[in-house]
Structure 1
Amino acid sequence: MENKRWHNHYPNEIPTSIEYVEKPLQVFLEESVQRHGEEKAIHFMGKEMTYNEVYSQSQKMANYLQSLGLNKGDKVAIMLPNSPQSVIGYYGTLMAGGVVVQTNPLYTERELEFQLIDSEAKFIICLDILVPRVTNVRGRTHLEHTIVTGIKDYLPFPKNLIYPFIQKREYNMVVKVEQTEDTHVWKHLMEMAATDYLEPEIKPKEDLALLQYTGGTTGNPKGVMLTHYNLVSNVQMCEAWLYKTKDSRQSTLAVLPFFHVYGMTTVMNFSVMQGSKMILMPKFNPNDVLKTISKEKPTLFPGAPTIYIGLLNHPDLHKYDLSSIEACISGSAPLPHEVQEQFEKVTGGRLVEGYGLTESSPVTHANFVWNKRVNGSIGVPWPDTDAKIFRADTDLEEADIGEVGELAVKGPQIMKGYWKNPEETEKVLKDGWLFTGDLGYMDEDGYFYIVDRKKDMIIAGGYNIYPREVEEVLYEHEAIQEAVVAGIPDPYRGETVKAYVVLKEGSNVTEDELNAFARENLAAYKVPRIYEFRSELPKTAVGKILRRRLVDEEKEKLSKV
């Protein structure tokens, strides 16, 4: 790759170009077994498994799927929270030659039905409490087999005995599943299946490893086709970036869900590649996370701003030892500078902002963890990743330094395209460039900045207003825990700026006080005209605040007036 201005800031330890291995993603697990077979791969609510155990059970999953008729390229939906089963199901599917379709356990029946039909999944691996939901849609999909497991399957004694009572209390159900021709019980599978399986011939640059669905903020979700090579190259980039962690003794806190591509790459695949331990947490609960960090001492903690904010605002934060944390890369949403500073002070580790999207496996940019970083910047492109800012509505016309335009990226981690959707593929893939839909600029040093999503930009009274800029100011107010800004319809200005805020526990501030604070720090046309105080904000599974949902709520209110 030709020298780029950001390469001047690369430390000696990080190469600007990497020799990528052309092999199936699951080979990382096989290699880690050879090097670290007896070392711990998983810690899950007190239960630990070695790499040998994870590999053996993944082999059994591959064997069983093939015995049910899985052929190379068949889709296997995995509808699980972070758990040993989510790792075993994922690698077992790849070993059998299947394509993983990560499926959010929180999906409604409508969302689940769309994804199963669109992906043409023939198999699904799900939790017992999700069986009724799967059963209700199954007849309208391509599903042929359901594999059912429960959280208690991998809990240590006596938690495995207590869990059914907890499940009944929390979900008001205890589902009992019987083994049939098309419904398969996980524990039966692990007892009956052999470890030998037919190893498929994989062409890493051509064959899909994953169909990962985008959030569907505009229209139906799209299936992003990621090849083995896409995912392998992004994991190798990740290892190069985190060069101080090339050690199996590292451990990673797995709060980010594996059904999201960010958690899948930076936690699961990265840990498996290194042969290090994953500390799995099925959901984000600040109290549980603080206890786990204090007890299990993870060294890496990839996350999202709302996760770090939730921990920093916990009333008992001072009671826990978080000093084991060495490095965190924050993604999925802009990282407020205040949050970065506070979290580094509490842990003594480094927290830097990165950037990526589902279509790029996902990471394309990050600040250096142990070298130069720039506050407010998403950092610089990763090895072998090119990035440019193009002027809006032009035919690949590059913007000047400092000029705002649309960010486009190019590299070995960029998707093959959208599943069964050539029209949408053509809209975002142009001449090898992936157009991200994000507006940003590059400075003279090659550091990139995102000012906002193209579709989230607010145009009020003819002025372009970027919500992120307003949110950064609001986060500086001592009473605010979370804030999001959106443009809502206005008959006079076209749109007007509205701020939705969550206050820190015990804090109090009026709309007039917030307005005065904003006016001290923002041009008048950027100041929110309306403030709404909420107890919580709508979020995705990885903690990304759903701005568009708030906008939709406003439109629905107006339609009823």
Structure 2
Amino acid sequence: MDKNQEKLTSGRPLSPPDNVGAWPLHWAKTRPDAFAVSDGERELDWKAFDGRISVLASRFRSAGVGSKGRIAVLLHNRTAYLEAFFAAARIGAILVPINLRLSEREIAFQFDDCRPHLLLYEKELEKLVSAALGFARHSPSQVWAVSGEVSDDYERALRTGERFEAWEDVSGDHPVLLMYTSGTTGKPKGALLPHRKVLANALNAASFFDNGTKDRVLIVTPLFHSLGLQILALPTIHAGGGLILQKKFEPAAVWDAVDAESITYFGGVPSMHQRLNDSLRETLPHRWKRSALRFVFTAGSAVSIELIRDFKDHGILLQQGYGQTETSTLTCLSAGESLERAGTVGRPVKLSEVKVVDRAGGFRSPSLWRETEPGEKGEIVVQGPVTMLGYWENPEATAETLIAGWLCTGDLATRDEDGFITLVGRTTDMFISGGENVYPAEIEAIYREHPAIREIALVGEAHPQWGEVGRAHLVFESGQFLSKEELDAWAADRLARFKCPKRYVVERELPRTASGKIQKHRLKSPEQAGGPGKSSSVAGD
């Protein structure tokens, strides 16, 4: 067993610098004057950053937040977000990031589900928060507004507190984050994440990002999303690198920051990278030098080979990863392999055991699971310190996902002889047409190769003869259009007939979660959509 994995699974208390809350303190002692984080309103070195965290931890405790108490945050990307995380970790509390893009009722659902003791919210969202609290049955005992101004609730709390010294003694299994899943199939579930998972992910990131104190990392993906917080921001702090936080994604602003701040890497989801690519193609050549940029990281959904090639033509290496809220990064495809192994999500990272298995022999009995042969489809399962503790107060969902130490991802995949994994869909996405299993991801990958198609999502719909058939929802590139005959012809010599979509629906955009994942349960047929402007059907069978 790897020494880090042994440390993470032993159950012993974590000691600095492995205790998650201690990371900024370590750098405050060793590099006090070095740059730590900025958000456009405030720039902090490690000494100042750690000092604010320490006082905030004291204020959280005096506000009545105890061990395993919940602190909800409804904030833009700002230094207060990270201060709240590390302060919560030091007192043994649990940070609950909440999606800024949710409706009042959706936020109220999460308030009622996790019952936070304290809420930090963005002052400019006061109307949204007030409405959400009005719908919620549970209200936090304390609510602090954050605006970046010296007079806001948050800054006043920091001015009136003292440094926190009585650290909570936590084990690796002590919870530190409660992150709600994307809700791609319905109501989100709260994944309860322990200290060991956050540390394991930071150690894995050190391996595949090769990060360190010289890195300056741009965070433009939301910190309420696992990619922004767990994969990019926290591992950077663990490694002693600097963070530049942006509150809003604008392609030109990203490239401006890459130059102005000497950014060494940043990350996002493919839909963001497509817009970044468009901005490079549409802008005067050589406007942005990108001289310090080592690579760009992408995760969240499949990446087209055209996008990889375009980035390479711009002199940018695109590195890919795959994971879930419940696990963070499980596999990584290095920038050097991105073209040669395009279509795969790479090989498993360290500190985790990842398998592709057939569970048919005993759905809830890992001893009866069969590891699939190269090229054979199966479900990805994982065990090790990277896994969650379970779903918050949801024993039924936890029991379905965590089986005898294995986390069943619900992702279907194949594995080749070299260990590279290719996603073929979700167990919930698969449908059966004429007795044949149809895996949407396989079909979507074929259509994404067409230069006129920007995005595609395939779903199954009822059919009187075949049981179910495929319905493809398409977003075309600007100024492009394909008829049903042209779409059928594209797939005819690439896919078996039963895999080919029977209907096509043209969309302006596909519904997505804040993390960029397509919400297939929100895709409507033309009959369900009802009315012009939403979508239009390309003639189908």
CA contact (8 A) 2:219 2:245 kept: yes
The alpha-carbon deviation at position 148 of structure 1 amounts to 0.5
Alignment-mate amino acid for residue 308 of structure 2: Q
Which amino acid in 1 is paired with 2:87? G
Alignment of 1:152-191 (within 5 A): 153=149, 185-191=153-159
- The alpha-carbon deviation at position 110 of structure 1 amounts to 1.5
Distance 2:463 2:103 in 1: 33
What pairs with 1:403-482 in structure 2 (closer than 5 Å)?
403-482=376-455
Q: CA RMSD in A?
A: 2.6
Q: SS of 2:326's equivalent?
A: helix
Deviates more, 1:475-484 or 1:312-321: 312-321
Measure, in 1, the Cα distance between the counterparts of 2:529 and 2:506: 19
Structure 1: distance between partners of 2:467 and 2:289: 50
Q: Which whole-Å CA distance do the structure 2 matches of 1:495 and 1:281 have between them?
A: 44
Alignment partners' CA distance in 2, 1:458 and 1:39: 54
Determine whether 1:149 maps to 2:146.
Answer: yes
Residue 557 (structure 1) shift: 6.0
Mapped partners of 1:96, 1:209: distance in 2: 10
Query: Aligned letter for 1:528?
Result: P
- One-letter code aligned to 1:99: I
Q: 1:296 to 1:216 in 2, by over 3 A?
A: same
- Which residue pairs with 1:215 in the alignment? 182
Identity rate, percent: 28
How far did residue 460 of structure 1 move? 2.3
Quick one: which of 115, 126, 129 aligns to 1:134?
Answer: 129
Please give the alpha-carbon distance, in whole angstroms, between the structure 2 residues aligned to 1:553 and 1:66: 54
Aligned residue pair count: 512
- Structure-1-length-normalised TM-score: 0.85
Judged with a 3 Å threshold, the aligned counterparts in structure 2 of structure 1 residues 467 and 119 are, in CA distance, closer, same or farther, namely same
Say if 2:333 is the partner of 1:333.
no
CA distance in 1, matches of 2:325, 2:149: 31
Matched, 1:231 2:198: yes
Q: Deviations over 1:72-95 (max 9, x none)?
A: 221000111211221122222222
* Structure number with higher relative contact order (C-alpha < 8 Å, ≥ 6 residues apart): 1
Between the aligned partners of 1:375 and 1:38, the Cα distance in structure 2 is 42
Partner residue, 1:253: 218
Which sections of structure 2, spanning at least 5 residues, go unmatched?
Answer: 9-13, 532-541
Contact 1:18-1:384 at 8 Å conserved across structures = no
- Quick check: 1:18–1:383 contact (8 Å CA) kept in 2? no
Cα separation, 1, equivalents of 2:491 and 2:520:
20
Distance in 1, matches of 2:196 and 2:396, equals 24
Tell me the equivalent position of 1:267.
232
1:299 is matched with which residue? 264
Question: 2: CA distance between counterparts of 1:508 and 1:135?
Answer: 45
Please state how far the C-alpha of 1:147 moved relative to its aligned partner: 0.9
- One-letter code aligned to 1:400: T
1:240 Cα shift? Answer: 1.9
Match of 1:27 among 22, 28, 32: 22
State yes or no: 1:367 paired with 2:333. yes
Dislocated runs of 4+, deviation >6 Å: 15-18
Letter in 1 for 2:497: A
Query: What is the CA-CA distance between 1:434 and the residue it aligns to?
Result: 0.5
**In structure 1, what is the Cα distance between the partners aligned to 2:133 and 2:526?**
31
Q: Distance in 1 between matches of 2:484 and 2:505?
A: 8
Identify if the C-alpha distance between structure 1 residues 423 and 17 changes in structure 2 by more than 3 Å, giving closer, same or farther: closer
Matching residue's letter, 2:453:
I
Shift of 1:553: 8.4
- Superposed CA deviations along residues 127-171 of structure 1, whole A, max 9, x for unmatched, are 012223333343621410011012x539xxxxxxxxxxxxxxxxx
- Structure 1 gaps of 5+ residues are 3-14, 155-178
CA spacing shift, 1:210–1:117, aligned 2, 3 Å = same
Partner of 1:123: 118
- Could you tell me which amino acid in structure 1 is paired with residue 457 of structure 2? V
Residues 230 and 415 in structure 1, CA contact (< 8 A), matched pair in contact too = yes
Moved more, 411-420 or 390-399: 390-399
Residue matched to 1:83: 78
In structure 2, what is the Cα distance between the partners aligned to 1:299 and 1:547?
A: 35
1:99 is aligned to 94
Between the aligned partners of 2:525 and 2:132, the Cα distance in structure 1 is 27
